[in-house]
């Protein structure tokens, strides 16, 4: 520890230096905001949601002029972005206290700076865990994470807990292989698509290949993945995309009957957060699993949004199916560092070394955080299930209390949406929530969409849920 301290001192760098000219006051305010959050209990902070914190105002010190317009940039002016965060709370640059109901945009699994995870990071750094290295020589956290993912995908295989996993590797009907040298979910999704198309070609199936997806899907920001949701229609060639309405059994059956063995694969997300938190019914996924097997197609479950938000890790397990490919990312490393993975059956292990890889996708320290994330979730299983159910039940009660405002509750206990009758009402309610210190997301930029989305970090507890519902009820009462 002493050597580390001396090294830090010899560097001559401070947070103020790194923040740039004139930003010293902002750093001071950040430190004050951090101390304010850490010195108070959740109960104390709940009473202050939406309040201006005295003595904290770091606005106008670093603007977003050079950041892209779609994220508030492109002009010189004041900002009110995040200054400091702890758990599900954060203080903005202008000193306002918020309750974050989106887990930092769906990926900060345990909230901001969870003490267990930050302690694991410090332990790792102090004891030789490296931040990243070449994928040919993965450090032990990466290898252990790969094994833990396979264990979570195969809970009824005791062979995985033994030193001899030859039986696991020999099973061609199990998820027993992990492509883990990937940073982002977008790269992971494109890797899965490559496997799907290569398998189609290997089987010499009819061309061109057909990929069946759900309308409103979101499988990443790569050009091929955006093509799956009707973007860049003139830029992709070589395979066709057929989209179907989620949970429409008749349409699904018709598509498989029409295209048959031309279908290379079927894609689905257990909860479609890009489609107002729509839940895909287990019976629908079971039919899709049967039809893909019948025509020799692959079934892909994209769990980038849903993975690690339930104690069993993978939400597809609730549907009683085993897909051919599962994609995870986002919440795996609790927001510490992007790291994603693709799980699949060993016969599908056909990509060459550099067919799918990220330069910084072999991050030992990030993998260590992912292991801690999984351990923390397992330890907290009962509380997580109890609190998530409490939140979802109370949201359903709100819908019953305000039927003229709320059309439905979408999603599941881990992630949900308040579906309003009108787009304008959803946007107005979202704005009032943010004005009053409740940080949520509005999904109303597609025709017919009018939903306010929420996905709390796993550190949330019953008192926070109760105060949150109380405040939502108050805002719903207002015109």
Tens-digit pLDDT profile for residues 340-393: 999 999 999 999 877 887 776 789 999 999 999 999 999 999 999 999 999 999
Give the DSSP letter of residue 51: P
Sequence spans of domains, the chain: 129-379, 381-477
216-258 pLDDT tens trace? 999 999 999 999 999 998 888 889 999 999 999 999 999 999 9
Classified by CATH at the fold level, domain 129-379 comes out as 3.40.640
Identify the CA nearest to 329 among candidates 124, 172, 181, 447: 181
If you search the block for the tokens 């309308």, which residue do you land on?
215
CATH placement of domain 381-477: 3.90.1150.10
Q: Considering the entire predicted model, what is its pTM?
A: 0.93
The rounded percent of the chain whose pLDDT value lies above 90 is 78
Distance CA 317, CA 290 (A): 16
pLDDT tens across 273-309, in order? 999 999 999 999 999 999 999 999 999 999 999 999 9
Query: Are 52 and 95 within 8 A, CB to CB?
Result: yes
Matching fold, domains 129-379 and 381-477: no
Mind listing the pLDDT tens digit for each residue in 442-475? Answer: 998 888 899 999 999 999 999 999 999 999 999 9
Please state the φ and ψ torsions of residue 18, each to the nearest 5 degrees.
-70, -30
Residue 394 tokens, joined: 């109370």
Question: How sure is the predictor about 11, in pLDDT bands with cuts at 50, 70 and 90?
Answer: low
Give percent above pLDDT 70 in the chain: 96
Instruction: Round to whole Å and give the CA distance between 406 and 450.
Output: 10
Classify residue 340 as left (phi > 0), alpha (psi -120 to 50) or beta: beta
Question: What is the structure's pLDDT at 160?
Answer: 74
List all residues 6 or more positions away from 40 whose beta carbon is below 8 Å from its beta carbon.
none
């Amino acid at each position: 520890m002493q050597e580390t301290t001396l090294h830090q001192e010899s560097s001559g760098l401070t947070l103020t230096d790194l923040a740039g000219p004139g930003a010293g006051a902002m750093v001071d305010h950040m430190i004050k905001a951090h101390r304010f959050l850490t010195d108070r209990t959740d109960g104390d902070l709940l009473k202050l949601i939406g309040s201006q914190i005295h003595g904290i105002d770091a606005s106008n010190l670093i603007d977003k002029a050079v950041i892209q317009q779609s994220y508030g940039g492109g002009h010189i002016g004041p900002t009110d972005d995040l200054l400091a965060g702890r758990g599900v709370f954060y203080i903005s640059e202008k000193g306002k206290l918020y309750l974050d109901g989106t887990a930092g945009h769906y990926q900060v699994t345990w909230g901001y700076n969870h003490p267990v995870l930050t302690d694991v990071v410090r332990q790792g750094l102090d004891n030789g865990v490296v931040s990243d290295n070449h994928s040919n020589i993965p450090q032990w956290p990466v290898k252990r994470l790969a094994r833990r993912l396979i264990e979570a995908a195969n809970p009824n295989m005791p062979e995985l807990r033994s030193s001899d996993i030859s039986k696991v590797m020999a099973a061609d009907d199990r998820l027993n292989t992990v492509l883990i040298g990937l940073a982002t979910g977008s790269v992971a999704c494109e890797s899965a698509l490559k496997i799907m198309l290569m398998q189609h070609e290997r089987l010499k199936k009819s061309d061109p290949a057909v990929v069946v997806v759900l309308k409103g899907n979101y499988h990443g920001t790569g050009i091929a993945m955006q093509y799956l949701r009707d973007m860049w229609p003139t830029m992709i060639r070589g395979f066709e995309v057929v989209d179907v309405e989620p949970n429409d059994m008749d349409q699904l059956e018709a598509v498989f009957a029409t295209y048959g063995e031309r279908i290379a694969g079927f894609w689905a997300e257990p909860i479609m957060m890009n489609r107002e938190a729509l839940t895909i019914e287990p019976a629908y996924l079971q039919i899709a699993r049967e039809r893909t097997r019948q025509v020799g197609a692959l079934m892909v479950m994209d769990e980038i949004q849903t993975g690690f938000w339930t104690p069993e890790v993978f939400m597809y397990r609730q549907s009683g199916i085993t897909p051919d490919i599962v994609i995870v990312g986002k919440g795996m490393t609790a927001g510490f560092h992007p790291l994603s993975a693709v799980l699949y059956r060993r016969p599908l292990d056909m990509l060459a070394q550099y067919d799918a890889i990220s330069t910084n996708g072999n991050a030992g320290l990030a993998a260590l955080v992912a292991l801690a994330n999984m351990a923390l979730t397992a330890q907290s299983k009962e509380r997580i299930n109890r609190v998530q159910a409490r939140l979802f039940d109370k949201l359903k009660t709100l819908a019953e209390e305000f039927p003229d405002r709320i059309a439905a509750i979408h999603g599941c206990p881990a992630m949900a949406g308040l579906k309003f009758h009108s787009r304008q009402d959803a946007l107005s309610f979202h704005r009032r929530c943010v004005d009053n210190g409740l940080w949520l997301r509005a999904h109303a930029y597609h025709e017919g969409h009018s939903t306010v989305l929420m996905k709390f970090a796993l550190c949330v507890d019953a008192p926070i849920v109760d105060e949150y519902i109380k405040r939502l009820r108050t805002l719903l009462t207002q015109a």
